[in-house]
Amino acid sequence: MRDHEPAPGAPGRRLTTKETAEFLGVKPETVYAYVSRGLLGSRREPGGRASTFDAKEVEALARRNRREAAGPSGSGGELSVRTRITLIEKDRYYYRGVDATALAARHPYEEVAEWLWTGRPAPGAAFTAPTATVRAARRAVNALPEHTTPTDRLRVAAIAAAAEDPLRFDLSEPAVLGTARTLIPTLVAALPPARLDHKDEGPLAHRLWGRLTGRPADPASLRVLDTALALLADHDLAVSTLAVRVAASARAHAYAAVSAGLGVLEGPLHGAASGLAHRMLLDVLDQGTAVPVIADELRAGRRIPGLGHRLYPGEDPRARVLFALLEQIPHAESALLAARDIVATTARHTPLHANVDLALAVFTVSSGMPATAGETIFAVARSAGWIAHALEEYGERPLRMRPSGHYVGPRPPQPLPDEDPAAAGPGHNPGRKSPWGMSG
């Protein structure tokens, strides 16, 4: 802006799209994205074609963006990011304002994913992957060692799918939505099947089932899997989702953003928690009671997996829905009883509710799935939410996820690591010679 022009927030001043974009440090397309999300108002002057923007409103948005970019300082230690995707409130959670548990109960995973991405109903939504993309992903995954974890396989599949897509750097909404609708089924198709006669047909839950267990699918179990995928599709700014938004803030393409989320799942405190609950549940079934199993866990200094959630003081709504569905499956009865025994035994001293990890464990144990199956379900499901957050972040100012470090190390100048400070006298030049014998 030129020196002789009035300040952005001067009374009555209106800015052109170009001026607004320059002041906010974004592209003109992002300005219109702000308008579509209700963050900025626009107006067309009489007889004009172009939109104009209230300077005070633009300045207020710029201040808000700067506060976000500054990170946690001055905000009580919590990083706050504007989002219209998921709200968690009073032991319930909502996808774009709609109760997520009700949505998952009435709509398949694909339709829930579309709702997260676009906020529009999508009856009959189906995901398909190009043959060439699936072939490339399978080749990459099949080259991995046999003991490779499912999350590693999914990450390699995402990278292979990206390499196959020459349009991956197109971050426009239609292009990213196209990527989403092909990437998720590619991830599933790249996993090795649990039975040789498995066919990649039907809804995504049907295709995933044959990669998790060799048992024949029944309608009740498929409904549990499909509902679990929808329930786990998003959960606000979980750590993996934050990693995705950081990648998207740097304008990494959607494949790379999903890969960032998958990398975070490798930690035992996030997506892998259901595997710990699965193994504990098997121990309880083997012992016939939860008492010695819980005692061993506590004696080893481990927290009991599958219990409690920092965002739900009461019952985890996702667990409540899954347990209700599992009660309708006869072969899940013994695993359900074992889970209830775990909750009751622990409640003698610490009244914690079962969370979604324990519900997933009941499902995976009773379905003859490996301990890693819950992590696979979580990763495939959450890919939808990750892409929704990447899409949202692409509409924000680039690189806003750049907090400043609070340095607490020794103050400079410090001597070089190979230098004896006591021997350094007048005229001493530690930079004269490097440790490799080269002149400094």
pLDDT in tens, 212-261: 999 999 999 999 999 999 999 999 999 999 999 999 999 999 999 999 99
Q: How far apart are CA 98 and CA 115, in angstroms?
A: 10
Q: Which amino acid is located at 85 in the chain? A: I
**The pLDDT value given to residue 39:** 80
Q: Is the pLDDT of residue 4 over 60?
A: no
Question: DSSP assignment, residue 11?
Answer: T
Q: How far apart are CA 203 and CA 73, in angstroms?
A: 46
**The pLDDT value given to residue 79:** 64
* Structure tokens belonging to residue 288: 């016939």
Average pLDDT score, the chain: 88
Q: How far is CA 434 from the centre of its chain?
A: 46
Q: How far apart are CA 232 and CA 240, in angstroms?
A: 13
Q: How far apart are CA 120 and CA 374, in angstroms?
A: 29
Task: List the Cα angle 209/212/215 in 5-degree steps.
Answer: 70
Q: How far apart are CA 39 and CA 32, in angstroms?
A: 10
Residue 87 backbone dihedrals phi, psi, to 5 degrees: -120, 130
439 phi-psi bin (left φ>0, alpha ψ -120 to 50, beta other): beta
Q: Are strands 43-44 and 51-54 parallel, antiparallel or unpaired?
A: antiparallel
Whether the Cβ atoms of residue 176 and residue 390 lie closer than 8 Å to each other = yes
**The pLDDT value given to residue 428:** 52
Q: How far apart are CA 253 and CA 179, in angstroms?
A: 10
Whether the Cβ atoms of residue 148 and residue 164 lie closer than 8 Å to each other = no
**The pLDDT value given to residue 72:** 45
Q: Is the pLDDT of residue 420 over 70?
A: no
Task: Report residue 1's pLDDT band, with 50, 70 and 90 as the boundaries.
Answer: very low
Task: Report residue 191's pLDDT band, with 50, 70 and 90 as the boundaries.
Answer: very high
Q: How far apart are CA 155 and CA 261, in angstroms?
A: 9
**The pLDDT value given to residue 6:** 39
Query: Is 402 or 165 the better-scoring residue by pLDDT?
Result: 165
**The pLDDT value given to residue 47:** 67
* End-to-end Cα spacing for the chain: 45
Q: Which of 238, 240, 236 is nearest to 260 (CA)?
A: 240
**The pLDDT value given to residue 408:** 87
**The pLDDT value given to residue 80:** 75
- Provide CB contacts within 8 A for 113, sequence distance 6+: 125, 127, 180, 184, 233, 384
288 phi-psi bin (left φ>0, alpha ψ -120 to 50, beta other): left
Task: Report residue 419's pLDDT band, with 50, 70 and 90 as the boundaries.
Answer: low
- Provide CB contacts within 8 A for 74, sequence distance 6+: none
Q: Which of 21, 25, 63, 26 is nearest to 42 (CA)?
A: 21
CA of 263: how far to CAs of 242, 258, 272, 424, in Å?
Answer: 12, 9, 12, 46
Least confident of 119-123, 206-210, 271-275, 355-359: 271-275
Sequence-distant contacts of 323-327: CB under 8 A, at least 24 apart: 323/354, 323/359, 323/362, 325/220, 325/223, 325/224, 325/227, 326/224, 326/359, 326/362, 326/363, 326/366
Task: Report residue 207's pLDDT band, with 50, 70 and 90 as the boundaries.
Answer: very high
Whether the Cβ atoms of residue 222 and residue 209 lie closer than 8 Å to each other = yes
Least confident of 69-73, 355-359, 400-404: 69-73
Q: Is the pLDDT of residue 303 over 90?
A: no
Q: Please provide the DSSP assignment of 200-214 as one string.
A: --SSHHHHHHTTT-S
**The pLDDT value given to residue 63:** 80
**The pLDDT value given to residue 406:** 84
Q: Is the pLDDT of residue 77 over 50?
A: no
Q: How far apart are CA 391 and CA 394, in angstroms?
A: 5
Residue located via tokens 């997260």 = 116
pLDDT in tens, 34-72: 886 678 888 877 766 788 898 988 888 888 777 665 554
pTM of the model: 0.79
Q: Is the pLDDT of residue 76 over 80?
A: no
State mean pLDDT over 351-378: 96
**The pLDDT value given to residue 69:** 57
**The pLDDT value given to residue 75:** 42
* Structure tokens belonging to residue 239: 């750590």
Helix, strand, coil in percent for the chain, rounding step 5: 50, 5, 45
